[in-house]
Amino acid sequence: MDTEKTVNGSSATSQVKSAARVLDVLDDIAAHGPGTQLQLAKRLGIPKSSLHALLRTMCARGWLDTDETGSIYRLGVHTLTVSSAYLDGDPVLARAGAVMDEVAAATEETVHLGRLEGAEIIYTAKRESKHPLRMYSAVGRRLPAYTTALGRAMLAEMPEDVRGTLVPHEIKALTAQTITDRDALMAIIDKAVQVGYAEESEESCLGVRCFGVALPFSRRSVDAISVAVPISRLGQGREDFIIETLLSVKARLSATRDNRLMR
């Protein structure tokens, strides 16, 4: 069997090389966009000759598609089918929908649901604001957890030694306002532990301030909800109202025993 000990830096278990390469192709195109066979080979470190048959098979099965020239590979429609099935079958998304609707109706602002995966958060659901707001926060997008209110809210629920492993010593800025000093960032997360919610201002999207709380849907909080508001529309009273709304939802869910999902 064609196996190897390391794929993408992981050496915990032996992995089937061909299967790992299929997943690497999907992950790469999702993260970096379409590419030619040569570009994908360089990005993934896979020999062009080995990649050719793999790409043809993935196209035939609908996981990849090509442009009219047949030379640029992009994600195929089958990835949408699988992702939709995931969203439909996820128990947290089913339970969180009503919570998101409630917060969106109360605040009339953009509401996000996110899940922690390693040191990143993945947007899993969204409710649009009633007011114009341009944010690149599509479902499926990934961002570093430590630069978002969603991620900070989840990190604040973890033991101090665990969350310390998820915040790198060198922090890459997403905007000019991103906090890149690790000590300052850890202090912000420590504050979130104390007050029960997290916040960030223009660190992931200029002109926007976000507030987030972890949702107690499992023994280990890996889901969170946030409200994103343009700073131009955010007075002190408005900020307090949004925070109170989020904390109220979190407290109500925490007090309801049957709200927990075993995970």
| Integer-rounded Cα radius of gyration of the chain | 20
Distance (Å, whole) CA 37 – CA 51? 7
Tokens standing for 156?
């604040």
Q: What is the pLDDT, as a whole number, of residue 133?
A: 63
Tokens standing for 136?
């690149």
Q: What is the pLDDT, as a whole number, of residue 10?
A: 46
Q: What is the pLDDT, as a whole number, of residue 5?
A: 42
Q: What is the pLDDT, as a whole number, of residue 258?
A: 54
pTM: 0.76
At the topology level of CATH, where does 90-262 sit? Beta-Lactamase (3.30.450)
Residue 233, SS3 per DSSP: helix
Write down the domain spans for the chain. Answer: 17-81, 90-262
* DSSP H or E segment with residue 121: strand 120-127
**Arch. (CATH architecture) of 17-81:** Orthogonal Bundle (1.10)
* DSSP H or E segment with residue 66: strand 64-66
Q: What is the pLDDT, as a whole number, of residue 43?
A: 93
Residues of the chain short of pLDDT 50, as ranges, are 1-13, 262-263
CB count in 10 Å sphere of residue 263: 11
Contact 228, 200 (CB under 8 A): no
Q: What is the pLDDT, as a whole number, of residue 68?
A: 87
CB count in 10 Å sphere of residue 132: 7
Average pLDDT score, the chain: 87
Sheet holding 64-66, edge to edge: 35-36, 72-75, 64-66
Contact 110, 125 (CB under 8 A): no
Tokens standing for 114?
């996110």
Q: What is the pLDDT, as a whole number, of residue 85?
A: 81
Distance (Å, whole) CA 174 – CA 148? 10
Tokens standing for 239?
């900020």
Helix residue ranges per DSSP H, 11-158: 17-32, 37-44, 48-60, 77-89, 91-107, 149-155
Q: What is the pLDDT, as a whole number, of residue 7?
A: 43
